[in-house]
Amino acid sequence: MLDKFYLNPPVCLKKLLELALETPDARYDPLVHPSKDELVSYYCDLLRSKAKMLDEYFGIQVNEYDNTLEALPKIKDWAAPFHVELPLLCLRLAANVDYTSEVRCFQNIADELAHYYAQFIDFYTNGEEAQVKA
């Protein structure tokens, strides 16, 4: 079982996704994409439908009943999730993961978590490279 960092209180997925779509990083284009409301609804449903798999294999706990993000994998005891990036993490888990292929799905989720935590670690180490002992 993976160690988890529990969000207290849990965070509404709908709000996280709405916030993410407002950022330039989302690259939302109303001329190309469905409405933001439609995307948020679709992405919430998608993440809710994948809740058991996300929790079991990655420690990402989504409450299927109230549509909240409850926990993320804990990488260090002293480290809390990087809240500023939570909206984009949720968007990327919904939009950038190929859930139709098990291998690609697992690789994509691992990539998104690595991207999220790399920013987190960079923030807390002030951009200094970690010292690796051979």
Domain presence at residue 55 = yes
Pairing, β 68-73 against β 4-12:
antiparallel
Place of tokens 């929790």: 55
Tally of structural domains, the chain: 1
Domain span at 21: 4-124
| pLDDT score for 75 | 79
| pLDDT score for 29 | 87
Domain presence at residue 130 = no
| pLDDT score for 133 | 36
Distance, CA of 69 to CA of 35 (rounded, Å): 23
Instruction: Give Dmax over CA atoms of the chain in angstroms.
Output: 52
Closest CA to 87 of 95, 79, 77, 76: 95
Domain presence at residue 129 = no
| pLDDT score for 118 | 80
Domain presence at residue 62 = yes
| pLDDT score for 14 | 96
Domain presence at residue 133 = no
Domain presence at residue 105 = yes
Domain presence at residue 72 = yes
Full DSSP string of the chain: ---EEEEEEEEEHHHHHHHHHTSGGG---TTTSPPHHHHHHHHHHHHHHTHHHHHHHH--EEETTTTEEEEEE-SSTTPPP-GGGHHHHHHHHHHS--TTSHHHHHHHHHHHHHHHHHHHHHHHTTTPPPP---
Domain presence at residue 113 = yes
Distance, CA of 102 to CA of 17 (rounded, Å): 24
| pLDDT score for 119 | 74
Per-residue pLDDT of the chain (134 residues; tens, 9 = 90+): 678 989 999 999 999 999 999 988 889 888 888 899 999 999 999 999 999 999 999 999 999 999 999 999 987 776 667 788 899 999 999 999 999 999 999 999 999 998 888 876 655 555 454 443 33
